[in-house]
Chain A
Amino acid sequence: MINSGDTAWVLMSAALVLLMTPALAFFYGGMVRRKNVLSVLMQCFIVMCVLSIHWVLIGYSLSFAPAKGFWGGLQWIGLRGVGLEPYADYAGTIPHQAFMIYQCMFAIITPALIIGAFAERMKFSAFLVFTLLWATFVYAPLCHWVWGVGGFLRNLGALDFAGGTVVHINAGIAALVTAIVLGRRTNLEKNVPTPHNMPFVVLGTGLLWFGWFGFNAGSALAANGLAVNAFVVTNTAAASAGLSWALIEWLHNGKPTIFGLCSGAVAGLVAITPAAGFVSVIPAIIIGLLVSVFCFVAVTVIKPRFGYDDSLDAFGVHCVGGIWGALATGLFASKAVNAAGANGLFFGNPKQFLIQLAAVGVTIIFTSIVTIIIYKLVDLFIGVRVDEKSELMGLDLTQHRERAYTILE
C-alpha cells in the first residue's frame, strides 16, 4: 500500500540528500587554494552527472537486487522490474523507484567525499575513471552487504541506520588510502595552504546540516516517529559536536574558530548517521561531544605525525567520526527507540558492540584493498597525479581552462 505522506517525505529527503553534494562542493571548495576551487566544484558536480546514470543503469541492481554474493543480482539492470509499486523488503509504503532514487543520492555523495583527500593534485580524467570503478567495485558490494537483501553484514545483524559504514567509513578509509598512495602536495612545508574562502566553508556546512535531515530522518523511509527521532538526534549531535570542537580550540589554541566549529558540526553529523534510528537524545549529546575530541586528535596530531596529506581531512572527519558512530551505535542502541533494532552494550547486549566492530573491520579491510587495486590500475593506464607544473599553476587552468576569479573586470 502506497502511503502518500511517506512517499512525499522520501522524495523530499532524496532532494535534501542530493543538495548535500553541492554543499560538499562548497565546503571543500572553500578549503582549497583559489587556483583549485573550480576543480573541486567540477569534481563534485560531475559525480552527480556520472553516478546518477551509473546508478539507474547498473549501480542500483548491483547494490540492492536480492542475491547472496559479492554483488547484488543483475535482475534490476536498467531498472527493469523496478516500478512504481512498493518493494516490501526495503520499503513497503513507497513506490520502489522512490527508494531507488533516494539511495541514488547516497551513491553520489559517497565517492564525492573522497575528493577531500586528493584535492589539488589529481588528474581529472583519472579521477573520473577512478570514481566509476570505485562506485562499481567498492560502493556497490559494500552497500549490498550492509543493506541489500541477502547481504552478509545485514544478516549478521550489524546496525547502520543511514550509512555510517557504507558511506562514511567507506569513503573515509578510501580517502586515507588515496592520500597515502598519491603522495603529498608539492611544496607543502614551505607554503602551507590556507583555505581561500572561509565563508564558502560555512555556507557548505549550513547546507550539509540542512541536507543531513534528509540523509538521516529520510532513512526511516516513512513519515513516522522513527523519522522524528532521527531528525532530533541528528540536530542534537551536530550541535554538540560543533560546540565541542569550538571549546577544544578555545582551550587548546586560545581562540575558537568558525572553521573548527564547522568541522565539528560535520563530524557530529557523521557520527550520528549510523545511530540516528537507534539512540535517544542523551546518547546523541555524548556522541556529538566526543566525536570532536577524536576527530580533533586525528587531524591535529595523527595526521602531522604520520605525514599523509589528506588535504581536506576526509579521513580525519569521515572515517574517524564514522568509526566512532558505528561503535557508539553498539554502545547506545536501544530497542525502546526502535523495536526493529537491537540493544547495545549499555542496554545489556555486549554482543551488539562486537557485531559493530566486525562491520567496521570488514569495511576497513575490504575498502583499503580494493581501493589500492583500483588506484594502481588507473595510475598504470592513465596516470593519477598531474605533473608538477600543472599542480603549481592550479587545476582550474590546467584541467579545465577556467578560472574562478578575475583580477580586473
Chain B
Amino acid sequence: MKLVIAIIQPDKLEKVKDELYKEQINLITVSEVLGHGRQMGVTEIYRGAKETGNLLRKIRLEIGVNDNFLEPTIKAIIKGAKTQETGDGKIFVLDLNECVRIRTEERGSVAIG
C-alpha cells in the first residue's frame, strides 16, 4: 500500500479529480494549503493577497492506494495538473503501513478501496 500526497495548482483540482475518476480512484482527501517550491519570489497571480508574502495557495491531495493502483494514480494527477510551467506542483509517494476502515474494522488492502 502507498500513500500518495500531491501538491497542485488550485485551478487544476477539477481536472485532476476528473482524471482520477476515470481510473476508478474515488477516495481522496483534499485540503487547501500554502507553500512554495522553486517559485520562491516569483510573483504570479496567486500572490494577490499581500499578507501571505511569497507563499502561494495550493491544493494538497492525499490518496491511499494499493500498489497496482499507484501508477494510474500518478499518471492521472500528472495528466490533470501538468502545464509545464513552474508551480505545477509535486507528487510524493510514501509506504503505507496500515489502513483501517473504522466502520467495519477491516484492515489492510481490503480497507483502502
- Asked whether any CB of chain A lies closer than 8 Å to the CB of B52, the reply is yes
- B34 surroundings in chain A (CB, below 8 A): 407-408
Fill in one digit per residue for A174-206: 1 if any B CB lies within 8 Å of its CB, else 0. Answer: 000000000000010011000000000000000
Q: CB within 8 Å of A: which of B49-96?
A: 49, 51-52, 55, 57
Provide the A378-409 mask, 1 if CB < 8 A to any CB of B, else 0: 00000000000100110011100111001111
Taking a contact as CB atoms closer than 8 A, the residue among B11, B14, B57 that contacts A191 in the complex is: B14
Least Cβ distance of B113 to chain A in Å? Answer: 22
Main secondary structure of the interface of B (DSSP, over half): helix
Determine how close the nearest CB of chain B comes to the CB of A35; give it in whole angstroms: 8
**Given A187-B14, A392-B14, A407-B34; A397-B51 close (CB under 8 Å):** no
CA distance A321 to B33 in the complex (A): 43
**Which residues of the partner chain B approach A393 to less than 8 Å between Cβ atoms?**
10-11, 45
Given A190-B14, A393-B10: A408 in contact with B55 (beta carbons within 8 A):
yes
> CB-defined interface of B28-50 with A at 8 Å, one 1/0 digit per residue?
00001110000000000110110
Which of these, B10, B11, B14, B52, contacts A408 with CB under 8 Å?
B52
| Residue in A398, A401, A408 with the greatest tally of chain B CB atoms within 10 Å | A408
How near does chain B come to A184, taking the closest CB pair, in angstroms? 15
For the complex, give the distance between the alpha carbons of A401 and B49 in Å.
Answer: 8
Q: Are A407 and B14 in contact (CB under 8 A)?
A: no
- A408-B34, A408-B55 known; A403 and B49 CB under 8 Å? yes
- Candidates B10, B45, B51, B57; contact of A398 at CB < 8 Å: B45
Min distance, Cβ B83 to any Cβ of chain A, angstroms = 9
Given contacts A407-B34, A408-B55, contact A401 B14 (CB under 8 A): no
Closest to B53 in A: A408
- List the A residue with the shortest CB-CB distance to B34: A407
A360-384 vs B, CB cutoff 8 Å, 1 = contact: the mask equals 0000000000000000000000000
Contact for A396 among B14, B32, B48, CB less than 8 A: B48
Q: Which of B14, B18, B32, B45 contacts A397 (CB 8 A)?
A: B45
From residue B50, how far is it (CB to closest CB) to chain A in Å? Answer: 10
User: Nearest Cβ in chain B — how far from A340, in angstroms?
Assistant: 54
Could you say which residues of chain A place their CB within 8 Å of the CB of B14?
187, 190-191, 392
Question: Which residues of A sit under 8 angstroms from B49, Cβ to Cβ?
Answer: 402-403, 406
Contacts of B33 in A (CB 8 A): 407
Nearest B residue (CB) for A391? B11
* B10, B11, B32, B55: residue with the most chain A Cβ atoms closer than 10 Å: B11
Q: Are the C-beta atoms of A397 and B48 separated by less than 8 Å?
A: yes
Q: Which B residues are CB-close (under 8 A) to A408?
A: 34, 51-52, 55
Given that A407-B32, A407-B34, A408-B55 are contacting pairs, would A392 and B11 also be in contact in the complex, using a CB cutoff of 8 Å? yes
B residues less than 8 Å from A392 (CB atoms): 11, 14
Extra contacts, 12 of them, besides A393-B45, A401-B45 (Cβ < 8 A), are A190-B18, A389-B11, A393-B10, A397-B48, A402-B48, A403-B49, A406-B49, A406-B52, A407-B32, A407-B33, A407-B57, A408-B55
**CB within 8 Å of B: which residues of A?**
187, 190-191, 389, 392-393, 396-398, 401-403, 406-409
The 6 residue pairs across chains A and B that have the minimum distance between CB atoms: A392-B11, A403-B49, A403-B48, A393-B11, A397-B48, A401-B48
